[in-house]
Every structure is written in structure tokens, then in C-alpha cells.
Amino acid sequence: MSDKKNFFSDNEDLVFHFRHSLDWAQIVELTEGGWGKPDGYKNVEEALEVFRQILEQVGHYAGHEVAPRAEALDRAGARLEGGRVVLPAEFDQIFDGFREMELFGLTVPRHLGGLNAPMALSFILNEVIGRADVSVMTHFGFHGPIAMALLLYSAREGSMKSGPDDWIGPSRFDEEVRQIVAGRAWGSMELTEPGAGSDLAAILTIGRRAPDGRWRLSGHKSFITSGHGPFHLVLARTEEAALPRRDGPQGASALEGLDALSLFLVRGQVERDGKLVDNVRLERVEEKLGHHASPTCALVYEEAEAELIGRPGQGFELMLIMMNGARLAVGFEGIGVAQAAFEMARAYAEERRTMGRLIAEHELIADRLLSMETDIRGMRAMAFEALNAVELSHKLELTLRFTARWNAAERQAAEERLEGYKRTARQLTPLIKFLAGEKAVEICRDNMQIHGGYGYMREYGAEKLLRDALVIPVYEGTSQIQALLALKDHLQLVLREPLRFVRDLGAARLKALTARGVEKLYWECVYEKLRSMEAIVREVVKGKLADELAEMRAMNPLEVWKHLSKDFLRRWDAKEDFAYGLLHAERMTEILAHCSIAEILLRQAETWTERKVWADRYVKRMHPRVLALSSAIRGGDRDVLEWIERRRQSASADPRS
């Protein structure tokens, strides 16, 4: 299809990553549970051809059917009428099309009516559909991924029958999955409450086991996307004694914080006396800045019938599996929105003239356009690297845990690969969520600016994109929370392997001194990354090991690191000791993200030399930014920390507080 408005095939960079950035041979083989099944693919080429056709079909649909309806969806929005959510007619038309294309079962196994495609396709569609309209993408994302989460939970809790070759067999949730595949149902992910967003340990919704052994849930959930559906996956605490501490200690045996959370499936309606009645009360559909056609619901649980998933206390662990996938999905969404903004900006800049020139040829505008495109390509490269790791870590883990495939040597090799993929997934997921959220907003704002006064009007849709983008750094864990996760993970790596860190630091310095051209710029950034990390560790331990500082000053860097890794890890209290790190977490995360992207782009440019121009451009653009961020981190300014301390002291001296 040579189709200019095909949101998959008109995007050369996306098509490149689809073809080259995923280990399809491994992914398809694991997804199929081995080759040669009667209804499976014969080989990877056959599978890839089918996947490409699906992406092209949806790309065409997104460009021709979804994008043209985006303005109408934005104007009409979702609303509550008589206790039910009403969506614009255009929304239903679009979802009818998805149903016809059998997209709700895209990644669902064949025996449940699905197409058994790898999860990667669903992530790629987040970009493709997100570019057309984020409300549509968001609701679409609460179909297939919820079905897959239910199957995964069933496997984990032992209620699925797996076979010797395949982890997928009859499960506890097959009926729910079938309804989703048929397009009759969807689910929602319910963590947030009025008093608990980033701080999930503050969740108050409570699950109690009634004398008949059944669970009942009571509490409020807020900001729940697509919360008007039949299946609610709800995080709640399960022991009253474990309510968050308010006025003093609770029962000594109580589970605390995140360990007290359990995961429940709650049905929107249940049968009572032969009639279907509401089990969850839809209190409100939020009015919000953007994402107008995506219903964001406030829900009330009043002794709602609930089914426990997994064990009591396992809720956070199970929800995290889904949350990590959702974070990567939001990363792809951010890239889709940014791509839409870039396309809009480029088109306008190539038709609008001022002072005798196209505005695309004014230096300031050209610089922005080039930055937008470079950033998007960089983020996409990192998102695909994360995607490969996420898909393979899931599939390898399930295959190893639940099937009898492979002999001992093969299993050991698979376990080693699994560790590598898990590490990459854990490291890159917060980076992509962080950067895609922040950059989507920046790029949409640049698009508005490039449109001048027209950008502020509704006419071109530039302001809609910015309104839609603004939530990306907020939901599925704010940018700040992603930064804390990324920093913690990298800091642990440093403290666990200090010798390696010192070696890396030395090697980066040497390369920064000896390399030439773009490579030199890259290694200077890597060196600054490591120096920033070192500065954070030094500042963090300053207070902790104050009494030993004089002694440590006399040590050489290697001895200092050895000492820190032994002593500090033992005596570390993240909340108390980590203030300097927390202060710079966002700066550090941005540096980490840029360096990861540059590493991936430069690596790919070795094989595909035509892509070197983008790798070089990315490195040249990130270099001054990384140096500035690093300089702020290494500056050692503690003004903010002192300000917090003074605030705390005056608050504790004030009897009214």
C-alpha cells in the first residue's frame, strides 16, 4: 500500500524498527510454543508477513477512519447519563471497525478465539492509534492487554492448565477472555483513590472475607480509565489492622503498606435473584483538559462481590506486572502523539510563509523541526529495545515456569537470557515512560508555537494534541515516580558492583579523551553520566558516613568505593539518606535516557549506515544538555534540602501543625 495517510507504512522509521529491532525468531517461536503446530505459522517469515499486513491494515484505518473523527470525539467527549457512560457515536463506529478486524483478540491464544500475535504488535498499535487519537488508543488498550493479564494471573496462581510445550491451557478466566475477544467486554486497572495515587501504600479500599468465604470490597476508586466496563481489576487491602498508620501503631501482626494489598476481579454487574444488578457504582465521569472521549471514572464499592486473584498480599506484585506493561504502552502512546505533532508542524511549516520564506526555512523553526524528529526517532529506538526485552522476558519466564520444554542445558541458557532481558526491561521501562511523557508535551508545545496564533485556535488541532499530551507524564506513574525508580535501580547497580563502576568510569574518561568526532561527544556524555552518579553517591553518603569522611579522604577512589559498597549498603535507609539523590532524580534519569538512546542508535548505525546521520544528530543535540544536567548534579548545591529542613523544623515548632 503506498498510502500517505497510513500511520504505519508512511512512517519509515517505525517500519524499520518493526523489521529489525525485535528478535522475531525467538519471539514467534515462544509465542507459538514451538513450530509446526497445525494452526500455527510454518516459519518466522510467514508470521512476519501476517503481522505486517495487520499493522498496515490498522495503520490505514487509523489514518483514514480514526484521525478524521478525532476532532468530533474531542468536542463531544464522554459523559454520564442516568448512571451510564455515553460515548460519541464516532467512538462506537471506530470500535465497530476494530471488532470487524478482530483486533480485540490480537494477542490472545487461538483456542480462545484470538490471533495469537506477539504482544509487540499491540504496543506498536499504541503508537499507530495514539497518533490518530489518544482517547481511542486508551480504551482500545483496556481490551487485549486485560485479557492477557487475566491469563497471566491464572497461570501464576496455578488455576491454568499448561501443557508440556505451551504455558497456555484452559484457565479460570477463559469466559471473560472470550467476551473481550468478541468485543463485548473490557476491563480497567484500579489503583488510584482520592488519597492514594503515587503512594499506593495509602490505599484504603478494603476487602473482607465474609463467613461464606466470599470476598466483599468497600471503598472509592478515582480517575479510572474505562472504568465503566464489566471487569474491574482492583487493588485493595485485605486486613483491617493493616490500615495506614494514622494515630499510632497498629496490630503487630498486621501486614503493612504494599504487602497488605491484594488484587481482585470485580464484575460491574452480578446476578441476584435471577436479575443482573450493579455491583459497582459509577459516581462520576471526570471533566478534564484532554482525552475527552476517554471516560475517566470515579467508582464506589459498597460491599461489592469480589474474587481474589492470587494470594492475599500478592496484589502489588501482580498489579506491577500489568503496570510495567502499561508504562511501556504509555511510552508508545507518547511517541504516537509526538509523531502527530511533528507531522502537523512540518506540514504547516512547509506551507506558511513569512518575510519571503517558508517558515520551515527560518533557522529557529528548522532547528525545532529537526529536534522534534531526532527526539522521536531516539525515543522509538529505545522503546523498541525495551519492547523486545519485555516480550522475551515474559515469554521466557512463562515457558520456563510452566512447560517441560528444553533439556537442562537449554533451560540454563534460557535462564541466562531471561536475566538479561529482565534487567533491560527494568532499566528501560521507566526511562521511556519518563522521556516519552516529557518530550510528548515539549513537542506538542513546539507544534503549537510553530502554528503561531493558529496554534492557539482549535482550527488545526494543535492545541488538542497539547491538551492530550499533558496527561502522559502523569498517568501510569508520574515522571517523578519514574525518575525515582530509574535512579534507585541504577544506584543499586553501582553499589552492588563498585569495582566495575570505577573501571567503567576510567574507561569512559579515556575514550572521551582519545575518541574523535561524534564518538568523542558520546563518550563525554557517558563520562558525565558516571560522574553524576558518583557525585550523587558521594553526597548521599556524606551525611551517613560523616564521622568517617576524614579517613575516607585519605583513601584512593578504589578504596573509597569498596568501603562504601560494604558499609553503605548495610546501613542505608532510602527515605532518610537519599535526599540528594531524590533531588536530582529527574536530571539523572534524563541523562540515563539520552545515553541509552545514543548507545542504541550508534549500535544500529554500525549495521545500517544510512541511519548514522540520525545517530550523529542525536548525540550532537544531547551533548550540551547532558553536560548542563551533569553540572547541576555535580554542583552539590543543597539549598533545596536546607529549605525542606527549615520547613520541617518550623512545622514541628508550630503547635497548630
Q: Which is nearer to ligand FAD, 418 or 491 (CB)?
A: 491
Q: Which is nearer to ligand FAD, 403 or 480 (CB)?
A: 480
Q: Choose between 406 and 572: whose C-beta lies nearer to ligand FAD.
A: 572
| Closest approach of ligand FAD to the CB of residue 616, in Å | 34
Report the nearest approach of ligand FAD to the CB of residue 431 (Å).
16
Q: In whole angstroms, what is the distance from residue 292 CA to residue 505 CA?
A: 48
- List all residues 6 or more positions away from 291 whose beta carbon is below 8 Å from its beta carbon: 134, 135, 138, 468, 471
Give dist(CA 540, CA 428) in Å, integer: 24
Q: Measured from the CB of residue 327, what is the shortest distance to ligand FAD in angstroms?
A: 11
Q: Which residue, 16 or 223, is less far from ligand FAD as judged by CB? A: 223
**Cβ 577 to ligand FAD shortest distance, Å:** 15
Region label for 225, one of left (φ > 0), alpha (ψ between -120 and 50) or beta (otherwise): beta
C-beta separation of 162 from 299 below 8 A = no
Q: Whole-angstrom Cα distance, residue 136 to residue 400?
A: 36
Torsion angle, alpha carbons of 596, 599, 603, 608, to 10: 80
Name the residue nearer to ligand FAD (CB basis): 54 or 260: 260
CA distance 303 to 308: 14
Q: How far is CA 13 from CA 99, 218, 348, 611, in A?
A: 28, 48, 21, 10
Nearer to ligand FAD among residue 88 and residue 581 (C-beta): 581
Rounded-to-integer distance, Cα 337 and Cα 473, Å: 13
DSSP character for 260? G
Comparing CB distances to ligand FAD, the nearer of 348 and 475 is 475
**Which residues lie closer than 8 Å to 526 by C-beta, 6 or more apart?**
508, 511, 512, 595
Residue among 561 and 580 whose Cβ is closer to ligand FAD: 580
Nearer to ligand FAD, 322 or 359 (CB): 322
Closer residue to ligand FAD, CB minimum distance, 116 or 225:
225
| CB nearer to ligand FAD: pick between 108 and 585 | 585
Q: Which H or E element spans position 469?
A: helix 462-469
For the CB of residue 43, give the shortest distance to ligand FAD in the complex, in Å.
39
Task: Output 291 or 611, the one with its CB closest to ligand FAD.
Answer: 291
Q: Which helix (H) or strand (E) holds 580?
A: helix 579-583
End-to-end CA distance of the chain: 66
> Distance between CA 135 and CA 285 in Å, rounded?
14
Site residues for ligand FAD per CB under 6 A: 188-192, 197-199, 223-225, 288, 291, 296, 471, 474-475, 477-478, 480-481, 484
Rounded to the nearest whole angstrom, what is the least distance from the CB of residue 189 to ligand FAD in the complex? 5
Minimum gap (Å) between residue 202 Cβ and ligand FAD = 9
- Shortest distance, position 477 Cβ to ligand FAD, whole Å: 6
Q: Which is nearer to ligand FAD, 447 or 479 (CB)?
A: 479
Cβ closest to ligand FAD, residue 131 vs residue 291: 291
The least CB distance from residue 297 to ligand FAD, in Å, is 8
Judged by CB, which is closer to ligand FAD: 369, or 481? 481
**Cα Rg, the chain, nearest whole Å:** 26
Question: Minimum CB separation from ligand FAD for residue 160, in Å?
Answer: 26
Cβ at position 200, least distance to ligand FAD in Å: 9
**Closest distance of CB 145 from ligand FAD, Å:** 12
Strand partners, 85: 80
CB of 9 to ligand FAD, least distance (A): 30
Separation between Cα atoms, residue 413 and residue 398, nearest integer Å: 15
For residue 652, with 0-12 CB atoms within 10 Å meaning exposed, 13-18 middle and 19 or more buried, which class applies? exposed
Instruction: Compute the least distance from the CB of residue 190 to ligand FAD, in Å.
Output: 5
Determine the distance from the C-alpha atom of residue 182 to the mean position of all C-alpha atoms in its chain, rounded to a whole number: 27
What are the CB-based long-range contacts (under 8 Å, 24+) for 109-116? 109/151, 109/168, 110/39, 111/168, 112/147, 112/174, 112/177, 112/178, 112/181, 113/178, 113/181, 113/182, 114/144, 114/147, 114/181, 115/54, 116/31, 116/32, 116/40
Task: Check the CA dihedral 37-38-44-50 and report its sign.
Answer: negative
Q: Name the 3-class secondary structure at 115.
A: coil
Comparing every residue's Cβ against ligand FAD, the nearest one is 197
CB of 499 to ligand FAD, least distance (A): 31
Backbone angles phi, psi at 342, to 5 degrees: -65, -45
Q: Report the residue number, 191 or 462, with the smaller CB distance to ligand FAD.
A: 191
Smallest distance, ligand FAD to C-beta of residue 645, A: 16
Report whether 271 contacts 55 (CB < 8 A): no
Q: Residue 402: what are its φ and ψ, rounded to 5°?
A: -115, 0
Residue whose cell numbers read 509523531: 339
Q: Could you tell me the three cell numbers for 232?
A: 474491574
Residue pair 503/606 in contact by the 8 Å Cβ criterion: no
Local structure of residue 196 (DSSP, 8 states): B
